[in-house]
Amino acid sequence: TQLLEQSPQFLSIQEGENLTVYCNSSSVFSSLQWYRQEPGEGPVLLVTVVTGGEVKKLKRLTFQFGDARKDSSLHITAAQPGDTGLYLCAGANSQGAQKLVFGQGTRLTINP
């Protein structure tokens, strides 16, 4: 079974600080997705990365897919309280993402 390890599992920082969340595996994935989940709701897709070394930016969020397509990172610049939530990475092991493997999640709290 493919595994995705996210770190840290919990992170609490002050508004304005920068942070990075990591998603690592020993397996190669054809694509990797990042989701954000609010309490009482389902996950919402933030980004999909497909190519090794790919970098995507979404406002203050920067996502990177490792060259070997085994790992990914999410970097948030100048974190805001609205960034608080559960961040999940998910890897697809085939074209079309029929089966997704999720990491355990990183619970991020941004304090005003």
Partner 1 sequence: EAQVTQNPRYLITVTGKKLTVTCSQNMNHEYMSWYRQDPGLGLRQIYYSMNVEVTDKGDVPEGYKVSRKEKRNFPLILESPSPNQTSLYFCASRPGHRYEQYFGPGTRLTVT
Residues of this chain, 90-109, that bind partner 1 according to CB under 8 A? 90, 92, 96-105
Name residues whose C-beta falls within 8 Å of residue 39's C-beta, 6 or more positions apart in sequence: none
Residues of this chain, 56-85, that bind partner 1 according to CB under 8 A? none
CB 10 within 8 A of CB 107: yes
What does the alpha-carbon distance between residue 89 and residue 26 come to, in Å, rounded to a whole number? 15
Using the minimum distance from each CB to partner 1, give the nearer residue, 45 or 78: 45
Name which position in 18, 20, 28, 44 contacts partner 1 (CB under 8 A).
Answer: 44
Count CB neighbours of 92 within 10 A. Answer: 19
Please, what is the minimum distance in Å from the beta carbon of residue 85 to partner 1? 14
Residue type, 58: L
Using the minimum distance from each CB to partner 1, give the nearer residue, 15 or 41: 41
Tokens 């709290």 — which residue? 109
End-to-end CA distance of the chain: give it in Å, rounded: 40
Size, binding site for partner 1 by CB under 8 A: 26
Please, what is the minimum distance in Å from the beta carbon of residue 89 to partner 1? 9
In the complex, the residues that contact partner 1 under the rule CB under 8 A are: 1, 4, 6, 9, 31, 33, 40-45, 48, 88, 90, 92, 96-105
